Amino acid sequence: MELNAKLETKKLNKLREVTKDEPVYCIPIDLTKDGNFTVDSYVGATKSGVFVFEDDVLSYYSFQKIEKAFNRVQTNGTLLTALVDGEEIIIARCSMRYVSGIASLARGINILLKGNTERRVINNDREKRCRKCGRVLPGTVSCPKCDKSGGNLKRFLDICKQNKAYLFIIVCFMLLDAVIGISKEYILRFFVDEHLVTGNGTVKDVMLFFAAYFGIIIIGLFIFYIKSYFCGKMGVKVVHQLRGRLSNHLQRLSLSNLNTRNTGEIVERVMGDTNRVRHFFNGTFCSTFNQVFYIIGVVTIMLIMNWKLALLTFLFMPLVIVFTKTFWPRINKIFSNLWRKIDGIQNKLQDVLSGIRIVKTYGREKSEIDEFCKANESHAEINYKNEKFFAIFYPIITLIFSFSTYIVIYAGGIDVLKGNMTPGELMQFVAYTGMLLGPLHSMSYLPRDIVNMTTSLERIYDVLGEKPGIVNEENPLKHNVKGDVEFKDIVFGYHTHQPVLDGVSLEVKAGEMIGLVGPSGAGKSTLINLVMRLYDVDEGALYIDGMNIKELDVEHYHSQIGVVLQETFLFAGSVVDNIRFARPDATMKEIILAAKAANAHDFICKLPDGYNTYVGEKGHTLSGGEKQRIAIARAILNDPKILILDEATSALDTESEYLVQQALERLRKNRTTFAIAHRLSTLRQADRIAVIDDHKIAEVGTHNELLKNKGIYYNLVMAQLQMNKTADS
C-alpha cells in the first residue's frame, strides 16, 4: 500500500509555510475529526512533525511536542492519536479504508520521533483500489478499467494463438453452419414458388423437397456437432493449460503470497475462473460468435431481397435489445433471491442434521422444525411470486419479439398482393426475421460475457504474474547449516497494521533446545515461521550461523529443517510415501531405521499392508500418536540441522505421548531445536525457555532461572501445578 500520496501544489506550499521539510509519509483520509465525510484530505509526517489537511485547513504538530503516536483501531474506522504535552489527542480520523495506511504512519512517526530520519516504514498490504480511478480491484494488481495495455485482449489472443489449429476448424465450421442455415430457406422458397404457387408440382417434387430439406438439416446437425466438439475440446484444452500453469505457479509462491488470499479464493481462481474461461469458449464463443456470421449473412440477403422491408424489420430490433437489458437485472434478482432461499433451506437442514444430538439433548426439535418450516414457506412464497412474474413476462417478451415478424407479414403480404414479391420470398423473409431475433437476443449478453471472461482472465493472470515473496538473492549461498540462530530486533506482522512480533532479539547456539511458551496469539508460531523462512521479516534481521537468512539458498536451507506440528498432515499415499516425503531418494533400510527411531516401526508392521498401507483421506485411519511418529520418522530421515516442534505432543494420550517424547528426544540430539508447548512439563529438557508475551520476548533463561525470577513463567508453572493438583484430587 502506498504511503506517499501526492499533495497538490497549493497544499504543499501551505505546508512549506510552517515547515521547511518535505512530506515523508502522506495518506489520504476520508473523515474530519468530527466524523464528517471529506475529500482531498490528508494526514502525514515530515521529518519534523505531523500534518493534517482537512480540505485546505492545515493543522501541524511539531515533534518537539509529540511523545508517541498511536493507531487506535475502532470497530468501524480508526483514529491516529498522539501524546501531545502528555495528553493523548486525536490527530486524524478515517474509515476502515485507510486503516492499514494509518497503522504504518503511526509506526513511521514513532521511528521519526526516535530521531531515525532515514528508515522508512513499508506497507506490504495489497492495494484494494485502483490509484487512478478509485475502483475496487477484483483481487488483482491492475485495474480492469484502467489497464489500457490491451492486456486481457492480448491474453485472450495468446490463448487463441496457442490453439490456432482448433480455432481455424471452429471458424470454418461456423461459416459452414451459417451457410447451411441460411441456404435452407432458399430451398423452401424455391419449392413454394416453383411447385406450390404455380400448381405444377407433383408428389415426386414434394418427396424431392422433403429429401433435400431433410438432408440439409442432417448436414446442419453434423456440422453443428463438429463445431461444438471442437469448441468443447478447445475449452477443455484451455482450462487444462491454465490450471496447469496456475498450480505450478502456486507451488512456487511463498506463504506470504498465499496468505494475502484465502484458500477459497485460490481454489476459486484455479477452478472457478478457469471454468468461466472454458464456458466462454464452449458457450459464448461457440454459439454467440457463430451468430455473428448468421447476422451478417441474413442482413445482407434481406437488404438485397427487399431493402425497404428489411429496414422496416430492423426498426424493431433496438426495442428487443432495450427490453432485454431493462429486465435483465430484475430477472437476475429473481434468480439470486431464489438461490439464496434454497441455500437458506439447505444450510438450515444441514445445521440441524449435523447438530442433531445437541438438538435432541436440549429438546429443541419443535423449534427447529418451526424454523425449517418458516424457511420453507418463505422459499415457496418467493417461488410463487417468481412464477407469477414469469407468467406475465414471457407472453410480453414473446409479443415484443414477434413485432418484427408481424410487420414483415403485413408489409410483405401487401407486396405479394401487389406482385412485388413472391409468396416464397415472403416465407424466406419471415424465416430470416426469426433468425435475426434469436441471435440479437443472445448478442445483448455478449458484453457481459466478455467482461466476465476478461475479469476471470485478469484474476488468473494476476496470480500467474505474482512474484514469489521469498526468492533467492543473486548468488545464494548453499550453506550447510550448523545451527546458530540469531534474531535481531525483528518486527513482523502478517498484516502491516497488526505486528505479531515487535522488536524480538534472541541468540541461540547450535544444538541448543529453546522452549517457547506464552499465551495464544503472542507470536510463538510466527517466530518459528520466520526460522523456517516461510516469511521474511519486516524489520530487523535473522541470522543463521552469522549469515543473514536472506543470503541462503531457500530450497537448500529448507532441506535442512525438520518439522513436527501439532496436527500432522499426511498426504494421500502410502506410509512409505509419507516418510519419504522429505527425502525421496531414501533407501528402504534408511526408512525402516528412521521409523524405528521414531517408535513407528512396530505399529507400521501391524498395519494390513505394512509400509505400503494407504493413508490420508479415505485411507487407513491412524491415531494422532501414530501420525506424529510418522512425522518424526519423516524428520529423522531428513537429518535436519534445525528442528521445529510445534505442540508436537499436545493432542496425544499419555501412552502415545510417552512414545512420541522418547522418539523426539532421539531426534533432537545435536540439533538446534525450537519447541512450542503449552504443557510446560514437556519442556523440561529445554536448555533455555523464552517466554513470549505481548509480541515481545518477555523472559529468557533456564527453567530454574525463570522460576527464581518469579515472573510470567513462574506464574504459568504455578498455575499448571495447581491445575494438576485439582485434577488429581
Partner 1 sequence: MIKMEKDILQIENEKVESQLIINSLTPENCEFYETAGGFAAIKVGDKDYGHINIIRTFPFSSLWEFLSVREVEGKQEEIGIIEDLNIFDKPTFELIAKQLEIRYFMPEITKIISIKEEYGHAYWSVMTNKGKCSFATAAGSSGAVTKKGNRVIIKDSDENRFEIADITKLTTKEFKKLDLYL
- Interface residue list for partner 1 (CB under 8 A): 30-31, 35-38, 72, 74-77, 79, 81, 84, 87-90, 93, 95-97, 128, 134-136, 138, 144-145, 329-330, 332-333, 336, 340, 343, 451, 455, 694, 710, 714-715, 718-719, 721-722
- φ, ψ of residue 79 to 5 degrees: the values are -125, 135
Cell numbers of 107, please?
509506526
**Of the two residues 16 and 129, which places its CB atom closer to partner 1 in the complex?**
129
Compute the least distance from the CB of residue 99 to partner 1, in Å: 8
**Of the two residues 588 and 721, which places its CB atom closer to partner 1 in the complex?**
721
* Cβ atoms of residues 652 and 660 within 8 Å: yes
**Of the two residues 116 and 332, which places its CB atom closer to partner 1 in the complex?**
332
Beta bridge partners of 693: 696
**Of the two residues 433 and 454, which places its CB atom closer to partner 1 in the complex?**
454
* CA–CA dist 579, 564 (Å, integer): 12
Compute the least distance from the CB of residue 32 to partner 1, in Å: 9
Compute the least distance from the CB of residue 89 to partner 1, in Å: 4
Beta bridge partners of 688: 514
* CA–CA dist 337, 35 (Å, integer): 35
**Of the two residues 343 and 567, which places its CB atom closer to partner 1 in the complex?**
343
* CA–CA dist 564, 547 (Å, integer): 25
**Of the two residues 296 and 718, which places its CB atom closer to partner 1 in the complex?**
718
Query: Using CB atoms within 10 A of its CB, is residue 723 exposed (0-12), middle (13-18) or buried (19+)?
Result: exposed
Compute the least distance from the CB of residue 517 to partner 1, in Å: 16
Compute the least distance from the CB of residue 723 to partner 1, in Å: 10
- Of the candidates 159, 461, 373, 148, the residue with the CA atom closest to the CA atom of residue 281: 159
Compute the least distance from the CB of residue 117 to partner 1, in Å: 27
Compute the least distance from the CB of residue 72 to partner 1, in Å: 8
Compute the least distance from the CB of residue 39 to partner 1, in Å: 9
Helix axes of 289-315 and 423-443: crossing angle, nearest 10 degrees: 120
Compute the least distance from the CB of residue 41 to partner 1, in Å: 12
* CA–CA dist 127, 254 (Å, integer): 19
Give, for 352, the enclosing helix (H) or strand (E).
helix 317-354
Instruction: Tell me which residue has cell 527425502.
Output: 583
* Upper half-sphere CA count for residue 325 (Cβ side, 13 Å): 12
**Of the two residues 119 and 128, which places its CB atom closer to partner 1 in the complex?**
128
- Of the candidates 168, 285, 176, 278, the residue with the CA atom closest to the CA atom of residue 224: 176
**Of the two residues 314 and 445, which places its CB atom closer to partner 1 in the complex?**
445
Compute the least distance from the CB of residue 84 to partner 1, in Å: 8
Beta bridge partners of 642: 561, 672
* Cβ atoms of residues 127 and 1 within 8 Å: yes
- Of the candidates 23, 19, 40, 22, the residue with the CA atom closest to the CA atom of residue 31: 40
Compute the least distance from the CB of residue 240 to partner 1, in Å: 25
Its sign, for the CA torsion 23, 24, 30, 36, is negative
Amino acid identity at 1:
M
> Distance of alpha carbon 258 from its chain centroid, rounded?
9
DSSP string, 223-253: HHHHHHHHHHHHHHHHHHHHHHHHHHHHHHS
- φ, ψ of residue 538 to 5 degrees: the values are -80, -45
Instruction: Tell me which residue has cell 475449452.
Output: 235
**Of the two residues 76 and 670, which places its CB atom closer to partner 1 in the complex?**
76
Question: Alpha helices, DSSP H only, in 573-689?
Answer: 575-579, 588-597, 601-606, 624-638, 654-668
- Nearest-Å Rg of the Cα atoms of the chain is 36
DSSP 129: B
**Of the two residues 138 and 465, which places its CB atom closer to partner 1 in the complex?**
138
**Of the two residues 126 and 237, which places its CB atom closer to partner 1 in the complex?**
126
Compute the least distance from the CB of residue 4 to partner 1, in Å: 20
**Of the two residues 34 and 655, which places its CB atom closer to partner 1 in the complex?**
34
Compute the least distance from the CB of residue 719 to partner 1, in Å: 6
DSSP 552: B
Compute the least distance from the CB of residue 505 to partner 1, in Å: 21
**Of the two residues 72 and 233, which places its CB atom closer to partner 1 in the complex?**
72
- Of the candidates 60, 65, 69, the residue with the CA atom closest to the CA atom of residue 16: 60
Instruction: Tell me which residue has cell 529448507.
Output: 558
Classified as helix, coil or strand, 94 is strand
- Of the candidates 273, 260, 657, the residue with the CA atom closest to the CA atom of residue 467: 260
**Of the two residues 77 and 412, which places its CB atom closer to partner 1 in the complex?**
77
Compute the least distance from the CB of residue 38 to partner 1, in Å: 7
**Of the two residues 37 and 569, which places its CB atom closer to partner 1 in the complex?**
37
Compute the least distance from the CB of residue 456 to partner 1, in Å: 10
Pairing mode, if any, of strands 672-676 and 642-646?
parallel
Compute the least distance from the CB of residue 393 to partner 1, in Å: 16
Query: Using CB atoms within 10 A of its CB, is residue 179 exposed (0-12), middle (13-18) or buried (19+)?
Result: middle
**Of the two residues 81 and 578, which places its CB atom closer to partner 1 in the complex?**
81
- φ, ψ of residue 201 to 5 degrees: the values are -70, 150
Query: Using CB atoms within 10 A of its CB, is residue 652 exposed (0-12), middle (13-18) or buried (19+)?
Result: buried
* CA–CA dist 497, 258 (Å, integer): 18
**Of the two residues 89 and 217, which places its CB atom closer to partner 1 in the complex?**
89
